[in-house]
Structure 1
Amino acid sequence: MRTLAVALLLVLAGCGGGSDDAPPAKATTSAPTKAATTPTVAPPKGTPAPEALSRFRCAKTPNGVWNSSGYIANDSKSKVTYQVTVYVGEAAGGAEQAKTRQLANVAAGGSTRFVIDKLPAPDNGGSCHVQVLAQR
């Protein structure tokens, strides 16, 4: 840490020399920058539980509507609420639209079927992506 402080002092000392003949630089003002925004939707909470998902299907109907379905199995010894989110399109990390379903209180050792219809999707379609979170 002392080495860094000494090096910083030497660099700053080297910048202090010069003549007073040059006119002072004009201060420029720049447009204020926008503050970082916070998401309007809370991020999902829970533990990833992809192993709970089985028989997942996601397809576009002949009418152009995307639907999904599957089963969630609870292998734990207590009831668990699961959150299933399905997204259609390219996973580019942007502000894409998805649809989420809460599966409350899935019994210990039990399973439940879910259906998520009318998924938002881009005109050119894409792949289906699913996320399962266990909220204990």
Structure 2
Amino acid sequence: MRTFAVALFLVLAACGGSGDEPTKAAKTSATPGATTTKPTVAPPEGTPAPEALSRFRCAKNAKGAWSSSGHLANRTKAKVTYQVTVYIGEAAGGVEQARTRQVPDVAAGGSTRFVISNVPAPDDGGTCHVQVLAQG
């Protein structure tokens, strides 16, 4: 779910802004021995491709395990690898868990079905969220 939270943050950050004139930033310099922190999770790579997804289903089975499935259609003229991430619960921006699957080499003009089993979910379930990214 970290990729979902990062993607959500990036979308929200892109929506921010104001019409005010930019102000000059104070000049700062790094002090010797200062450490730079790096994100622990890489942001998702790819172009959002929700239009590639159809017949998406997400449900809990009789044993209480969540799974999802759907079809991905490649409407481009080159093969594409899709990254599908499914998250169940409230999108609160915290540290949640999701399941991600790479669906490689979907042919130009082709389609394929995918299944993602054992999607982590809170005990009380929740809403199912899906993200589809096209990767070259």
Question: What TM-score does the superposition give when structure 1 sets the normalisation length?
Answer: 0.72
1:7-31 CA distances to partner (integer Å, 9 max, x unpaired)? Answer: xxxxxxxxxxxxxxxxxxxxxxxxx
Structure-to-structure mapping, 1:24-43, within 5 angstroms: 37-43=37-43
Partner of 1:54: 54
Letter in 1 for 2:128: C
1:95 and 2:92 correspond: no
Tell me the SS of whatever aligns to 1:51: helix
TM-aligned CA deviation for residue 36 of structure 1: 7.9
TM-aligned CA deviation for residue 38 of structure 1: 3.5
**Separation in 1 of the partners of 2:39 and 2:88?**
21
**Separation in 2 of the partners of 1:41 and 1:59?**
27
TM-aligned CA deviation for residue 105 of structure 1: 1.0
Partner of 1:65: 65
Partner of 2:134: 134
Q: Using CA pairs below 8 Å that are at least 6 residues apart, which structure has the higher relative contact order?
A: 2
Letter in 1 for 2:39: P
Query: Unaligned regions of 5+ residues in structure 2, if any?
Result: 1-34
Tell me the SS of whatever aligns to 1:123: coil
Partner of 1:120: 120
Report % sequence identity: 75
Tell me the SS of whatever aligns to 1:77: coil
**Separation in 2 of the partners of 1:36 and 1:58?**
40
Partner of 1:6: none
